[in-house]
Structure 1
C-alpha cells in the first residue's frame, strides 16, 4: 500500500486520480527534491554510525529501469521508494527534477519504478516540461514558412486514442471526416500524431472537442497536431490514414 511521505507524493496521488491536477503536479515536480540511486563500481561498507563512505576513486553510475528492451532513468519521490526498488550496493542521493532532466534531456525517465504510483516521461515530454509547458491541452501554433512533414501509418493502432477522438468529434455535425497518421516534424527527433479534419464550421469547436478527448495520458507523451484539410497540401495523404470519424 502506498502511504504518501511528502507533499509531492500527495500531489502524485491526486494527479493519478484527477486529470485536472496533472499540470499542477508537473509544475511542482520540476522544482521538487527527488532522489536518485547511484551505484559504485566497488563495494561500500557502512561505518559504525551507519553512514556510507565512498572509497576514494570510486565511480558512481545511475542504474537503468528496464521496460522490455528500453532503458529508462529511474528517479524517486522519497529515499524509501529507491531503497525498495534497488537491493544491491547503492547510495541514495538527493537531486532536483529540473537539474536531472537538464543533464539528460534526450533520455526517457521513470518516476518510482516498482511503486504503486509513478509516471513515465518520454524525451519529448521532458523537453516540454523544461520549456515550461505544463498543460497538455491543445495549443495553436502558426508556422511562418512551409515545412516538410513525413507521414506514415503506425505499426500498432492507438485504439484508445481513436475511440476518444471519435467520441468527441463524432458529435460535431460540422466534422465530415477525420484521419490519423504518424508524423515526423522538422527539428523533432520523435514521432508525433497528425490528425487531418474535414470540417465546415468553426475551428475552435474542433479544438475544444480534441481537448476533451485528450484527457489523462492517452497520448502517452506524444504530440498531436490537428490540421484542417481544406486547402492543405497534406490533405490527399492524410485522407489515407486511420479513419477516426467519417460522415
Structure 2
C-alpha cells in the first residue's frame, strides 16, 4: 500500500490516474525536493550516537544504478522511506532537487521510485525537454544547433495503434501528401524513438496539431516521437522507405482520377 507522505507524492498518484494532471506534476517535480541513495566505496559508513553518520577519509559516495532489462538508470525518490525500501545495503539518503539532478546528468535515463507502486521512467529526451521548460503532453518544437547522427530502421513489431491514430488525424489534414514512420537511434541515447516524416505543402502548425491529437492516450507506449517535414535531404529519402501512415499520396491519386 502506497500512502503519500508529501505533496509531490499526492501529485504523482493523481497524475498516474489523470493524464491531464501530468504536465502539472512534471512542472512541480522539477523544483521538488527529492532523495538519492549514496553508497560508500573505500570504507564503511560509521553511525554516531546522535544519529549522524561519519564518512571515513578516502571513502567515496556513488550513485547505484537501477536496471530495466539491459539498461541502467539513475534512481531518485520522492521520500527517504522510498529510498530505504529500495536499497538495503550500506548507504545514506541525501536530499537533492530534480532540476539540479537532471542538469548534472542530462544524457542519462532516470527512474523515480523504482520498485514502488507509484513511479516513472524518464528517457534522456524527456529530461532534455523538462530542462528546457517543456512539460505539456502535446508535441514540442525543438531546434537543434548542431547536426545529429540519427540511424533509422524498421521495427520488428508494427505499432498498429500508433499508425492508426496518426493516419486518422493526418488524413484529415488536406495539406498532407504522405507520411512515413521509422525507428530512430540517436548518438548518445540508449533508447530508440519514433521518427515521423511528413510530406506537406501547408502550415507545419496544422501537421503538428494533428500529431498532438493522435498522441492522446498511451499509443507511444513510453517511446518519444519526433516529426519532421520532408525535403531533399538523405534523411528524408530514408524516411520515405518507412511504414506509410496516410492512406495514400494525395497528389498522385488526384492526377489519376481527374
Question: Using the alignment, how far apart are the partners of 2:73 and 2:99 within structure 1?
Answer: 16
Q: Are 2:7 and 1:10 aligned?
A: no
Question: Using the alignment, how far apart are the partners of 1:235 and 1:89 within structure 2?
Answer: 52
Question: Using the alignment, how far apart are the partners of 1:43 and 1:145 within structure 2?
Answer: 45
Q: CA deviation at 1:123?
A: 1.4
**Equivalent residues, number:** 243
Query: More displaced, 158-167 or 168-177?
Result: 168-177
Q: Select which of 222, 225, 238 maps to 2:224.
A: 222
Task: Give the aligned partner of residue 33 of structure 2.
Answer: 33
Q: Structure 1: state its 5+ residue gaps.
A: none
Which TM-score applies when normalising by structure 2? 0.79
Question: Using the alignment, how far apart are the partners of 1:92 and 1:199 within structure 2?
Answer: 52
Q: CA deviation at 1:220?
A: 2.5
Task: Give the aligned partner of residue 254 of structure 2.
Answer: none
**1:69-84 superposed matches below 5 A:** 69-84=70-85
Q: SS state of the match for residue 38, structure 1?
A: strand
Question: Using the alignment, how far apart are the partners of 2:145 and 2:121 within structure 1?
Answer: 33
CA contact (8 A) 1:34 1:76 kept: yes
Q: Deviations over 1:131-170 (max 9, x none)?
A: 2222242245678999986543234433443243234335
Q: CA deviation at 1:207?
A: 2.6
Q: Over aligned residues, Cα RMSD in angstroms? A: 3.1
CA contact (8 A) 1:39 1:91 kept: yes
CA contact (8 A) 2:107 2:188 kept: no
Query: More displaced, 86-95 or 101-110?
Result: 101-110
Task: Give the aligned partner of residue 23 of structure 2.
Answer: 23
Call closer, same or farther: CA 1:198–1:124 in 2, change over 3 Å.
Answer: closer
Q: CA deviation at 1:124?
A: 1.7
Q: CA deviation at 1:120?
A: 0.9
Call closer, same or farther: CA 1:60–1:200 in 2, change over 3 Å.
Answer: closer
Question: Using the alignment, how far apart are the partners of 2:131 and 2:203 within structure 1?
Answer: 33
Which TM-score applies when normalising by structure 1? 0.82
**1:60-99 superposed matches below 5 A:** 60-99=61-100
CA contact (8 A) 2:44 2:90 kept: yes
Query: More displaced, 173-182 or 96-105?
Result: 173-182
Call closer, same or farther: CA 1:133–1:71 in 2, change over 3 Å.
Answer: same
Q: SS state of the match for residue 54, structure 2?
A: coil
CA contact (8 A) 1:176 1:246 kept: no
Q: Structure 2: state its 5+ residue gaps.
A: 249-258
Q: CA deviation at 1:54?
A: 2.4
Q: CA deviation at 1:47?
A: 3.1
Task: Give the aligned partner of residue 163 of structure 2.
Answer: 162
Q: CA deviation at 1:3?
A: 1.4
Q: CA deviation at 1:121?
A: 1.1
